[in-house]
A = this chain, B = another copy of it.
């Protein structure tokens, strides 16, 4: 006598998007807290001290860009999903954990990027931290797309494969930038920044299978 009624899923993709937007917005705004007000003596120049904070400004600007790009692409990705489930909600929370973590390596970079003895390590740690959201992003995608568990069933298989390859490549790229940084920190950082800037380009439009035509014989 039970279970006869169907109700809307308690955790819709819309809810997950709204929660994710909240985390994106907070993580992106918290980045400003890593820029520390310089402490000056009487004779010091405030302008000079503010100038020396350039690693903080770089960290703020690039962090804003990275999180902003993930936010835009997160909406693009979710426009491909039709369903959601409990585990998917938690997999997305895992992805958000890698986004919300970004202010920490950014602070480390800002603090140590100008100290010759620690610069290489700071850049390495920063680039390592950029691999994490790429990994978690792939987990979100694979959970949703394998066996078409959650995605729109009308999506063209070629398009799904295209995304799978493209997302896997982003892990490879950030890992390569990290590996390069182990021998040449600034080159590694430059590669990561350069590759990230490519995301200014819009993602490829979703491609759908032709709909089964209504007035048919056969299918």
A contacts, CB < 8 Å to B: 1-5, 7-8, 10-11, 15, 18-19, 21-33, 35, 37, 40, 42-43, 45-47, 50, 60-61, 64-65, 68-69, 71-72, 75-76, 78-79, 85-87, 89-90, 93-94, 96-97, 100-101, 103-104, 107-108, 111-112, 117-118, 121-122, 124-125, 154, 156, 158-159, 200-203, 205-211, 219
Contact A211 B10 (CB under 8 A): no
User: Which B-chain residue is minimally distant from A72 (CB atoms)?
Assistant: B89
A75's partner among B11, B100, B112 (CB-CB below 8 A) is: B11
Give the residue among A10, A87, A203 with the most B Cβ atoms within 10 A.
A10
Check B24 against A19 for contact (C-beta < 8 Å): yes
Q: Which residues of B contact A30 (CB under 8 A)?
A: 26, 29-30, 32-33
Q: With a CB–CB cut-off of 8 A, which chain B residues contact A121?
A: 45-47, 50
Please indicate which of the listed interface residues A65, A72, A93, A94 has the most CB atoms of chain B within 10 Å of its own CB: A72
Q: Is the CB of B26 within 8 A of A22?
A: yes
Contact residue among B11, B72, B158 (Cβ-Cβ distance under 8 Å from A76): B11
Residue of chain B at shortest CB distance from A107:
B37
B25 touching A208, Cβ below 8 Å: no
What distance in Å separates the Cβ of A116 from its nearest Cβ neighbour in chain B? Answer: 9
Q: How far is the CA of A112 from the CA of B38 in the complex (A)?
A: 10
Q: Which residue of B lies closest to A122 (CB)?
A: B46
Closest to A24 in B: B19
On whether the beta carbons of A200 and B90 are closer than 8 Å, the reply is yes
Q: Complex Cα distance A46/B117, Å?
A: 9
- Which chain B residues border A90 with CB–CB below 8 Å? 65, 68-69, 72, 200
